[in-house]
């Protein structure tokens, strides 16, 4: 069974940085529409960053210029580099992607378990 495993969350001071990672728990055939989402206390889950199957990257207005999403094909890992963190960035961060386990199977959508990011003032 394929799972997306996240890591890198933690507690940082405002202005600090964190790098989140998300990797598949086993070998897969392909991965598309990779995204990072977050849900803060009392807030709805929102899209933070996304890389489409065409390679285009988009960011929420609230994180533009501060967050960078990237991938490492060899390690089958998706990253979210977060710089200049603000208290309002405090949330549980989730990775999401469409994964094809084998060439003869269709894509399925997977969510990571979430990792807590807390930014203190």
pLDDT (tens place) for every residue of the chain, 121 residues total: 788 999 999 999 999 999 999 998 888 888 889 999 999 999 999 999 999 888 899 999 999 999 999 998 778 889 999 999 999 999 999 999 999 989 999 999 999 999 999 999 9
Q: Which residues contact 36 (CB under 8 A, 6 or more apart)?
A: 20, 22, 47, 48, 49, 50, 69, 78, 80, 93, 94, 95, 96
| pLDDT for 112 | 95
CA distances from 39 to 76, 103, 118 (A): 25, 33, 12
| pLDDT for 53 | 83
């Amino acid at each position: 069974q394929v799972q997306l495993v996240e890591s890198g969350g933690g507690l940082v001071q405002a202005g600090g940085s964190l790098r989140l990672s998300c990797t598949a728990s086993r070998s897969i055939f392909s991965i598309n529409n990779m995204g990072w989402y977050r849900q803060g206390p009392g807030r709805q889950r929102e899209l933070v960053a996304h890389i489409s199957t065409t390679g285009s990257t988009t960011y929420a207005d609230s994180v533009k210029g501060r967050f960078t999403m990237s991938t490492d094909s060899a390690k089958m890992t998706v990253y979210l580099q977060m710089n200049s963190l603000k208290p309002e960035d405090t949330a549980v961060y989730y990775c999401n992607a469409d994964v094809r386990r084998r060439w003869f199977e269709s894509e399925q959508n997977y969510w990571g378990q979430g990792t807590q990011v807390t930014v203190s003032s």
